[in-house]
Chain A
């Protein structure tokens, strides 16, 4: 393998682990990241010259630590000297920084890192950005592009987040049992938001956005490896895979293609298989696992009319009751038992969902199926106005035209 390919691949696979280990070693986020980046920069010519080392992570860790030591020595403050002494204590106490150690000797501290990146004291956008940067290795420019902000803005967001970790004393640790489940929930919330942002963007008007949902899948997969006993982590990974499986068929000519009209032969069968395997096991299921099962019901239907809507309607009752969940359940009911049974369920949501375009779109669909064309057209007009992105607006406008033309 060519050494620049090897460096690129190692970067994808080991960046998060290298940074996590460095933060655990020196306690300084900025220093850890800078030195990790320098170690990769140094790897390129070094591996070119003498070949790819057997233990790339151990090699990188040694180089990054040496860099960090140099920098800490150059700092003159007492605080920095203390930090250096403390860091070296850790090194001599547990692992010896020597190129002869192997990757397996280096503890995997990514779990500490992800809990700290997703700490509830940080603003949500900062949690997402920090996770993508420190665990995923995306540059501030790439993350900025994904979230439609400039590189300096994203850089500032990351600097502020690191400053808060330092000054507010956010711990670098795996949370103790009494707060474990709420913090895991928080981490999953960040990863799911990341996935959805990326998924929505992949159909948006901008093609420049990097693939944040692929990154979310990669990070969630890593998390499954780190905490294999957490069913909701597997549930979330399954949900992402089973949703992402439909991505190749989701957009055509700049428009979002509704599920029923998608070319199902384009769906990614490997993702469906992997997602289904993750869901093996019996209830009780958490919200992510239930949503994944709903996605699976769609994914395994060869044709739209083969969808098991009764099962889907039943699965929705296992989710916490919110207006949006109720709306989705009503759609399933309409498919399983007919629009007349679903209409009262939808109409009951008029107040909480007054500003939600999919409420108006769903109402329009039920009216149309009940032959109430004028009401359907009015609801679609509202939905067009409320739709958040160009492709969705186009889709709704087309639907309204078709309805009014009687086709």
Chain B
């Protein structure tokens, strides 16, 4: 199964990372790549360099900063492939982020192809991580309604067609010149979060922060500049009703 490790730290505490953290990180990456677990991962620039896009009635609103003002903010991510959640928790618990913050472990939706991400960025381009965020309680309620409702009480919408001009497939086509890969995540109620408490790594259920909007998926982009990334975000179907946070990937 494929999982996303969402690293969440209080940015003010980054300076508290112990000196051995860098070598621990290198060892973790080496081990996980060697075991065939780590498929992709990157550090992100701080939320000071984040930009969030929402569309309201068809017009694009660009604001500075992350999609939610939480104490802990997403600082990096890994995409891992391992047999089960317990392995994923063990892999996360061994990561040096737990010195100063939390790692949310969230499964991807089924069917995710193996991400192929070149080691080096295309010349003249920069990488951006697009965090696709949505009100997941509403999404979960909608999904539950589809399963529970009796047909005469609830009229289910037409399933999304592949050639819907406003659908995700049309969007993927439109941004194929700059999208490296991306995939939706399972609902946040499937998430677990690991963090260190009193010297021990403990696991709790749920996402790292209880915000109204939650990360629902992500896309890795390669763009010439921020405007190209904003253009991609502004046309994403979730930008209407949700939020797309753009974070530059740190070198």
Q: Give, as a whole number of angstroms, the nearest-CB distance from A84 to chain B.
A: 18
Contacts A168-B226, A169-B226 known; A120 to B62 CB distance under 8 Å? Answer: yes
Distance of A170 Cα from B128 Cα, bound (Å): 12
Contacts A120-B63, A121-B62, A175-B227 known; A169 to B48 CB distance under 8 Å? Answer: no
Residue of A nearest to B59 (CB): A182
Chain B CB within 10 Å, residue with most, of A121, A123, A164: A121
Whether B64 contacts A169 by the Cβ 8 Å rule is no
Inter-chain contacts of A167 with B (CB < 8 A): 45, 49, 248, 250
Contacts A160-B48, A163-B48 known; A169 to B223 CB distance under 8 Å? Answer: yes
| Interface membership of chain B positions 112-147, coded 1 if the CB is closer than 8 angstroms to chain A and 0 otherwise | 000000000000001010000000000000000000
| Interface membership of chain B positions 48-81, coded 1 if the CB is closer than 8 angstroms to chain A and 0 otherwise | 1111000000011011110000000000000000
Whether A170 contacts B226 by the Cβ 8 Å rule is yes
A-B contact count (CB 8 A): 52
Pick the residue among B49, B50, B63, B230 that contacts A163 (CB under 8 A): B49
Q: Give, as a whole number of angstroms, the nearest-CB distance from B228 to chain A.
A: 8
Chain B CB within 10 Å, residue with most, of A123, A163, A167, A179: A167
Q: Give, as a whole number of angstroms, the nearest-CB distance from A66 to chain B.
A: 28
Residue of B nearest to A179 (CB): B227
A171 CB–B CB distance under 8 Å: yes
Whether A171 contacts B65 by the Cβ 8 Å rule is no
> In B189-246, which residues have CB < 8 Å from any A CB?
223-227, 229-231, 246
> In A109-129, which residues have CB < 8 Å from any B CB?
119-123, 126
| Interface membership of chain A positions 170-184, coded 1 if the CB is closer than 8 angstroms to chain B and 0 otherwise | 110101000100100
Residue of B nearest to A172 (CB): B225
Inter-chain contacts of B126 with A (CB < 8 A): 169
Whether A168 contacts B227 by the Cβ 8 Å rule is no
Inter-chain contacts of A163 with B (CB < 8 A): 48-49
Distance of A324 Cα from B143 Cα, bound (Å): 42
Q: Give, as a whole number of angstroms, the nearest-CB distance from A127 to chain B.
A: 9
Sample of 5 further A-B pairs with CB below 8 A, known A163-B48, A169-B248: A121-B51, A123-B65, A168-B49, A169-B229, A182-B59
Closest 7 CB pairs of A and B: A120-B62, A171-B225, A121-B51, A168-B49, A169-B225, A123-B64, A167-B49
A residues contacting B by CB (< 8 A) are 119-123, 126, 160, 163-164, 167-171, 173, 175, 179, 182
Name 7 interchain pairs, CB-CB below 8 A, sorted by A: A121-B226, A163-B49, A168-B51, A169-B126, A169-B248, A171-B226, A175-B227
